[in-house]
Structure 1
Amino acid sequence: MSPAAPDAPNASDAPDGMWSIGELAEQAGATVKTVRFYTDRGLLPETARSAGGHRRYGPEALDRLRLIRSLRTLDLPVPEVSRVLDQEDALEDVIAGQLADLGSQLAALRWREAALHLLRDCTAEERAERLRLVGAVSVPPSTAALARFWRGVLPVRLPPRLVSTILDGAVPQLPADPTPSQVLTFARMHAIATGPRPVTDFCRPIPRQPDRGCRPAVLYEGLGEAYDLVVADVRAGRPPHGGEALDAYVCAYAASRGMRDTPAFRRQLSRLLAWIADPVITRYWDLAGDLAGPAAPTFGAADDWLRAALDSEVAEV
């Protein structure tokens, strides 16, 4: 029979009730180098020094070292480990921060995977353009360029609350797990947002109507109300028609100019909207609709529906 293994060293066995750095490392199943590393960075304070200047550790150091190693197993950086050790309530915040970082890393990986599939599953002729579009987008992607685009397109001096509402509707939420098609759609939107800025002037004077100036805040506030009224019709795929939503739409333009909603005003407004329609903005809204899907009609889809309703009504007169 082989002799029994000697008991592991205990701090109480030492004359001063403390462990050497080697004994502490053995108790924790770590290396001396690891213990020295954490000690040098202030995570594992030594209790005392021996007469020969060697580090000595008390019994509490073992629990602290085990906790440090557990936190490091989760890939927590040393500064975050230090926060957890020094602040009793810091662990929850540190975990939340690490989850946020991990989510960002996963989002970047999903985006990169979808982009690679997009580039793999296309013809050689398509690949050059797709590579240019996708290569211009950061990973993980950011919608900051789209927000800047719309801030530049919108009239100046709109109330901040109204600008925020418009940006919420104009800048899409990116899918957490994008398909290759969604990657391409967003890359095209990004190309529009970073290209030449279109000139859109919904406050342009209406021909044959008195020009009393225009109040953009009144216009965009009213358009928002009209869009809210028509969302259900757009989502259900109903054909454009007259009614409360169209009345609110025309009223927004009329009220912004201090004018009345009359048949003559509607005819002139129909012509104006056809004249000032910008293909770049139209393309943006088409892409935004593709990204959002039919269940979430965009402002652009709502505006198209209302303009079609207005054109149809005017044509019947």
Structure 2
Amino acid sequence: MFSSYDGLCSIGELAEHAGVTVKTVRFYSERGLLPEASRSAGGHRRYAPGALDRLRLIRSLRTLDLPVREVRRILDEEDEEADEAGAAAGAVGPGSVLEDAVAGQLRELGSQLKALRWREAGLRLVQECPPGERADRLRLVGAVTAPPSTDSLARFWRGWLPARMPAGATSAFLEVAVPQPPDDPQPAQVLAFARLHAFATSPCSGAEQPQPAAHRAAGARGSAVLYAALAEAYELAGARMRLGQEPYGGEALDSFVDAYARAYDSRDTPEFRRVLAGQLAADPRIDWYWELASQVVTPPGGRPAPTPGSAHDWLCAALEAQTALAGA
């Protein structure tokens, strides 16, 4: 390929063949990515023919925005595989280092794209709101990172749940209680999440929120059993809510009442249901959280997505209607 008597080329010739600058070739050489074959009598770098393919590979990897340290690891793995298999130097194989590097870069790029989409939706939110509301919108949106973190919401619930509740039960509850921000949000969803973050980080949040009587009665481990059983009831109720059905008695309500009966070490009787309905009506509520959580995961114009809070309200309404009918 090279016309010199020894089959080697100078740094300038290599740069010309690869379509890059001499400065680029020198940069990769000095960082050990592009080994030189020898030096001329005048101390100038000389490169073997395989350097051209290697340089082109380096440029391809750098075009994918892989950092130099990852390029070095990929090249080292390629060299090892070539030595072991007798493959031609510079051949690109399905090395695990390359696969890992590309996968990592895709994850990073996905996070960057998500952040850009959130910033775009946040800017549109400010642009489209009435002038008198812009200061408030800027304050809300400016308090949330892009892409947004749900750590503040998780901290809110960790403070609200019974102390010393088993970690597994806490994690299971957080999975359904903390809404995951959409990758490509609309301005209304950005506003809902910003308001949710403000609510969760307000001075009266977490442990300062009043807790339902079930926390005191069941204790930490009993509450874990309670919430696991309630999750099943909420799922059953959510299926009916997605169908647009009004609250009514049935499997979902029976599962709901049974969860409390087990927590209170009692039996599901008409009297228990009457007392439970009164207690749940008097329990503190966090309706604003659940309303915002539904807005975060529901695109504008779509049917509101059921949340544990809205499912709880649906079941309470079903229980109230049933006990009222029984007492009539």
TM, length-normalised to structure 2: 0.86
2:74 pairs with 1:73:
no
1:31 aligns with 2:21: yes
Residue 203 (structure 1) aligned to one of 214, 232, 242: 214
Alpha-carbon offset, residue 262 of structure 1: 2.3
- Alignment match, 2:270: 263
**Residue in 1 that maps onto 2:237:** 230
**Residue in structure 1 matched with residue 8 of structure 2 by the alignment:** 18
- CA distance in 1 between counterparts of 2:33 and 2:219 reads 68
Alignment-derived partner of residue 4 in structure 1 = none
Write the mapping of 1:123-272 to structure 2, written as runs, cut at 5 A. Answer: 123-195=130-202, 196-197=204-205, 198-203=209-214, 215-272=222-279
1:7 is matched with which residue?
none
Equivalent in the alignment of 1:115: 122
- Aligned equivalent of 1:284: 289
Once the two structures are overlaid, the 10-residue window that deviates more, 171-180 or 263-272, is 263-272
Deviation at 1:302, TM superposition (A): 0.9
Over alpha carbons, which structure has the higher Rg? 1
Q: Distance in 2 between the 1:110 and 1:181 partners? A: 13
Distance 2:152 2:213 in 1: 23
Q: Report the counterpart of residue 307 of structure 1 in structure 2.
A: 316
2:68 paired with 1:63: no
For the residue of structure 2 that corresponds to 1:56, the secondary structure is strand
State the identity as a percent: 59
- For residue 156 of structure 1, give the secondary structure of its aligned residue in structure 2: coil
**Structure 2: which amino acid aligns with 1:187?**
A
CA root-mean-square deviation: 1.9
How big is the shift at 1:315? 1.9
Q: CA deviation at 1:305?
A: 0.4
Measured against aligned partners, the alpha-carbon deviations of 1:114-138 in whole angstroms (never above 9, x if no partner) come to: 1111101111221111111111000
TM-score, structure 1 normalization: 0.88
The alpha-carbon deviation at position 164 of structure 1 amounts to 2.2
Residue 40 of structure 2 corresponds to residue 50 of structure 1: yes
Rate the CA distance shift 1:185–1:295 in 2: closer, same or farther, 3 A. closer
| Corresponding residue SS for 2:214 | coil
**How far off its partner does 1:26 sit?**
2.0
Q: Distance in 2 between matches of 1:82 and 1:204?
A: 56
| Unmatched segments (≥5 aa) in structure 1 | 1-9, 206-210
Size of the aligned set, in residue pairs, is 300
SS at the partner of 1:134? helix
What amino acid is aligned across from residue 291 of structure 1 in structure 2?
V
Give the 3 Å change call, closer, same or farther, for CA 54–212 of structure 1 in structure 2. closer
Contact 2:14 2:47 in 1 (8 A): yes
Residue deviations 1:29-60 (CA, integer Å, cap 9, x gap)? 22211111110111101111222222111111
Alignment partners' CA distance in 1, 2:181 and 2:218: 41
Given the superposition, is the C-alpha separation of residues 45 and 239 from structure 1 closer, same or farther in structure 2, using an over 3 Å criterion?
A: same
Q: Is the 8 A contact 1:104 1:140 kept in 2?
A: yes
Q: 1:222 to 1:202 in 2, by over 3 A?
A: farther
Q: Which one is further off, 27-36 or 37-46?
A: 27-36
- Offset of residue 212 of structure 1: 8.5
> 1:85-119 deviations in whole A, cap 9, x for unaligned?
12241222221111111111111111111111110
- 2:148 is paired with a residue whose SS is coil
Gaps in structure 2 of 5+ consecutive residues: 79-94
**Closer, same or farther: CA 212–40 of 1 in aligned 2, 3 Å:** closer
Q: Deviations over 1:188-240 (max 9, x none)?
A: 111112122213234256xxxxx787821221122112112222211112111
Paired residues of 1:28 and 1:66 also in contact (CA < 8 A): yes
Q: Which amino acid aligns with 2:9?
A: W
The answer (yes or no) to whether the contact 1:213–1:257 under 8 Å persists in 2 is no
Given that 1:230 and 1:245 are in contact with CA atoms closer than 8 Å, whether structure 2 keeps it comes out as yes
